[in-house]
Amino acid sequence: MASTGPHTNAYYSDSVAPTSQPVPETKKRDVSLYQFFAPGGVLSRTHPAYEFRRGQLQMAQAVEQALEEKRHLIVEAGTGTGKTLAYLVPVIRSGKRVIISTGTKNLQEQLFHKDIPFLEQALFPNGEGKLKACYMKGRNNYLCRKKLYDLTDQPVLSGLEEIEHYRAIATWEKVTQTGDRAELASLPEASALWHKIDARSDTCLGQKCSAWDRCFITEMHRKAMESDIIIVNHHLFFADLSIKQQAEYAPDAGILPEAGAVIFDEGHELEDVAGSYFGVSVSNGRFEELCRDVEVSLQRNHMLSASLSGALKSLRERAIFFFALLPQGDGRFAFESRREFMEENGDEFLGLQQALTRLGSELENLASKPEEVFNFARRTQELQVQLGFLMESEDRNTVFWIERRRGGRDKLNVFLQATPIDVAPILKTCLFDKLECAVLTSATLAVGGSFDYMRQRLGLEHARESVLPSHFDYENQALFYVPPDLPDPRTPQFTAKAADRIRRLLEITRGRAFVLFTSYAQMNDVYQRLLGELEFPMLLQGDAPKTALLEEFRLTPHAVLFATSSFWQGVDVQGEQLSCVIIDRLPFAVPSDPVVAARVKSLDADGGNAFFQYQVPAAVITLKQGFGRLIRSLHDRGLLVLLDNRILKKQYGRVFVESLPPYRRTTDLKQVEQFFGIE
Ligand code: SF4
């Protein structure tokens, strides 16, 4: 079969083109989609748990058509569809280079370590071919050799722990092929040393770096250039896209190569991730880091003059002072009083800007400066521009807010943030209008059977649509119970009554449950009320890392896990061990969150109805995700509970009910007992 032409309309620019060969156009494989997925086909002969899934074949056909016709596609495929194979097979057949972007690491690992080797074996049983695929993580997962070598020349390590980590990394650097920190199991997640030597882009010298040829990022990029399938996550994808956009698609911007198509799996997360990369964020930590990096580098190069020391001292002091003046508050909150703040503290803002200017010109004036000094000058200027935008911009499509987070060693990190209120116009212009084919898929994209909400939020105007039939028999596999008698979850009486009902339900299900909450406070309150009251082992989010808790849940008979939002998605527990998912209330986003509040305000101001256009659909997607934890295979069976009966009593409740899979529904506790064989 004919292959498609070279990537003439492709969107991405290559950054190491001179040293890389274009990907050769591979021929489409000889096996048709039907011959692959249908009974008696390749999949049935090679997959031990093969079942014919109509939805899987339909999805593969839709993806193939989109790739061939260079169109966008949005497709909802429920759990059990086998959607990764449904897009991988047409991608391989297309002969195009395709980027696959996922929301979670689990899915990236499944694609790279399970699905692709499986397909390689299935398509080339005698080793007559190979799939060229690579797995790219965010740059901060990789070691920067230059920084490590600089540290070796002049170690600036604090404490015994850092010295120990440094030794382990230095030994590993000599043998690792990838520079991926995942190989260093002993390095703690929050290692402060790693943060000083990772390969983040803002500190990278690019082709001018003395370690460029042996750089792990260069190597990763080279591998990507030689691959047909490039697996990334949404964070890396949008970080790359925003860098390219800022650099106006300069040939050396970004690390992802040209691609004929992008498949966004777990596509329901795109709006949030895109919003964070098309925004601006300046923190007190960034000032401190810049000063530290300049100081260390100039000291090493014996260039730290008295005037430069003075410039650094002044910048440090000005930054500390300025961030201390910002409005007080915990967590995330809107910075609505920017104008008043500037009226009162304009001098301090100007003082900080002048300190940046002073450092910038000191750096410029250095004679015969090493390459990294140009990078420091660029970072200084970037801070100046971004700070100016954060304090003075009148952009109506941006919400300005502040976030305070506790760091290690009692450090308080203060972030000044600007986030686009509506990412749709940005994504439309710099992604969907330029990309020849984007496929957006997830188990949760449609609301009431329609994609209007997703398309509006993402600016995806022209796309084919498909909601695939489920492979599961939801009506017999799951019972959905809503207690009609509990008080409204917004009332103070709710928690005590809800805890009582949870206890009763867990007795019926013999534990084996996730109890999922919309807030930590509610989770802790209910957990405390039930502690000592249940005869089953109780696990609480926060008591151990997420993966360890999940492992314990899988291994502990009758366990009950109390958790919040991070367990609503990307968690897969098959079998009887998880027989019940209880959700405390309809998961509306916190209305006081600055980004949510700004989106609501903007929709209402434009004459829309934010509640129905934004808050309800967003909550529907989240609820579908949460309930999606229960039925993970054809053999799973269990109970879903929503303790919030507004789903029955309020008019908007219908939207939720109509969006959920066709579970058998009840409001009668007796039917729950019968479902579990209790008469
Ligand atoms: S090219 Fe960039 S990431 Fe690579 S070693 Fe040099 S500075 Fe580090």
Distance, CA of 634 to CA of 615 (rounded, Å): 32
Q: What is the percent of the chain with per-residue pLDDT over 70, rounded to a whole number?
A: 94
Probe ligand 1: pick from 19, 147, 181, 204, max atoms within 8 Å of CB? Answer: 204
Contact of 87 with 439, CB cutoff 8 Å: yes
Distance, CA of 620 to CA of 658 (rounded, Å): 10
Q: Which range (35-39, 103-107, 342-346, 405-409) has the least confidence?
A: 405-409
> Which pLDDT value is given to residue 409?
63
Contact of 419 with 245, CB cutoff 8 Å: no
Distance, CA of 73 to CA of 65 (rounded, Å): 9
Residue 386's nearest CA partner among 456, 281, 475, 252 is: 281
* DSSP H or E run through 480: strand 478-481
> Which pLDDT value is given to residue 544?
84
Q: How far is CA 201 from each of CA 139, 266, 375, 421, 587, rounded to the nearest angstrom?
A: 7, 26, 11, 26, 36
> Which pLDDT value is given to residue 79?
85
Asked whether the predicted pLDDT for residue 480 surpasses 50, the reply is yes
Q: How far is CA 29 from each of CA 32, 261, 289, 633, rounded to the nearest angstrom?
A: 8, 18, 51, 30
175: number of Cβ within 10 Å? 7
* Ligand 1 mean position, distance from CA 254 (Å): 13
Contact of 162 with 408, CB cutoff 8 Å: no
* Ligand 1 mean position, distance from CA 212 (Å): 6
Asked whether the predicted pLDDT for residue 674 surpasses 50, the reply is yes
Distance, CA of 44 to CA of 52 (rounded, Å): 8
CB neighbours of 480 closer than 8 A, spacing ≥ 6?
627, 640, 641, 642, 660, 663, 664, 665, 666
Using CB distances shorter than 6 Å, the residues near ligand 1 are: 144-146, 199, 204-206, 209, 211-212, 215, 217
* Ligand 1 mean position, distance from CA 668 (Å): 63
* Ligand 1 mean position, distance from CA 219 (Å): 11
Q: Where in the chain is the domain with CATH 3.40.50.300?
A: 17-132+226-272+425-467, 474-675
Distance, CA of 596 to CA of 618 (rounded, Å): 11
Probe ligand 1: pick from 144, 213, 243, max atoms within 8 Å of CB? Answer: 144
* Mean pLDDT for the stretch of residues 444-460: 94
* Ligand 1 mean position, distance from CA 303 (Å): 22
In this structure, which residue's CA is closest to atom 2 in ligand 1?
204
Contact of 563 with 517, CB cutoff 8 Å: yes
pLDDT class for 608, splitting at 50, 70, 90? very high
* Ligand 1 mean position, distance from CA 147 (Å): 8
pLDDT class for 648, splitting at 50, 70, 90? very high
Find how far residue 17's CA is from the centre of its chain. 29
> Which pLDDT value is given to residue 253?
67
* Ligand 1 mean position, distance from CA 542 (Å): 36
Distance, CA of 561 to CA of 580 (rounded, Å): 11
> Which pLDDT value is given to residue 151?
81
Contact of 169 with 184, CB cutoff 8 Å: yes
| Closest ligand 1 atom to 209 CA | 6
Probe ligand 1: pick from 16, 137, 146, 150, max atoms within 8 Å of CB? Answer: 146
CA atoms within 13 A on the CB side of 15: 23
Asked whether the predicted pLDDT for residue 412 surpasses 90, the reply is no
> Is the alpha carbon torsion for 112, 113, 116, 120 positive or negative?
positive
| Closest ligand 1 atom to 144 CA | 8
Contact of 135 with 220, CB cutoff 8 Å: no
> Which pLDDT value is given to residue 408?
63
* Ligand 1 mean position, distance from CA 410 (Å): 31
Tally of helices (H runs) and strands (E runs) in the chain: 28, 18
* Ligand 1 mean position, distance from CA 9 (Å): 30
| Closest ligand 1 atom to 145 CA | 5
> Which pLDDT value is given to residue 14?
30
215: tokens are 């750089």
* Ligand 1 mean position, distance from CA 356 (Å): 25
Asked whether the predicted pLDDT for residue 355 surpasses 70, the reply is yes
Residue 264's nearest CA partner among 471, 32, 454, 123 is: 454
Distance, CA of 375 to CA of 370 (rounded, Å): 10
CB neighbours of 223 closer than 8 A, spacing ≥ 6?
134
Residue 564's nearest CA partner among 617, 609, 522, 530 is: 522
CB neighbours of 615 closer than 8 A, spacing ≥ 6?
588, 589, 591, 596, 600
* Mean pLDDT for the stretch of residues 273-281: 92
Probe ligand 1: pick from 16, 147, 148, 195, max atoms within 8 Å of CB? Answer: 147
In this structure, which residue's CA is closest to atom 8 in ligand 1?
144
Residue length of the chain: 679
* Mean pLDDT for the stretch of residues 391-401: 95
* Ligand 1 mean position, distance from CA 660 (Å): 48
pLDDT class for 249, splitting at 50, 70, 90? low
Domain 280-420 classification at class level: mainly alpha
In this structure, which residue's CA is closest to atom 6 in ligand 1?
209
> Which pLDDT value is given to residue 481?
97
In this structure, which residue's CA is closest to atom 7 in ligand 1?
204
Q: Where in the chain is the domain with CATH 1.10.275?
A: 280-420
| Closest ligand 1 atom to 147 CA | 8
In this structure, which residue's CA is closest to atom 4 in ligand 1?
215
| Closest ligand 1 atom to 215 CA | 4
Please tell me the CATH code under which domain 474-675 is placed. 3.40.50.300
| Closest ligand 1 atom to 216 CA | 4
Probe ligand 1: pick from 140, 217, 220, 373, max atoms within 8 Å of CB? Answer: 217
* Ligand 1 mean position, distance from CA 322 (Å): 32
* Ligand 1 mean position, distance from CA 215 (Å): 6
Asked whether the predicted pLDDT for residue 114 surpasses 90, the reply is yes
Probe ligand 1: pick from 139, 152, 205, 378, max atoms within 8 Å of CB? Answer: 205
CATH fold of 17-132+226-272+425-467, please?
Rossmann fold (3.40.50)
* Ligand 1 mean position, distance from CA 203 (Å): 8
* Ligand 1 mean position, distance from CA 289 (Å): 17
246: tokens are 């800022």
183: tokens are 């190989």
Look at residue 642 and give its three-state secondary structure: strand
pLDDT class for 11, splitting at 50, 70, 90? very low
Probe ligand 1: pick from 145, 198, 218, max atoms within 8 Å of CB? Answer: 145
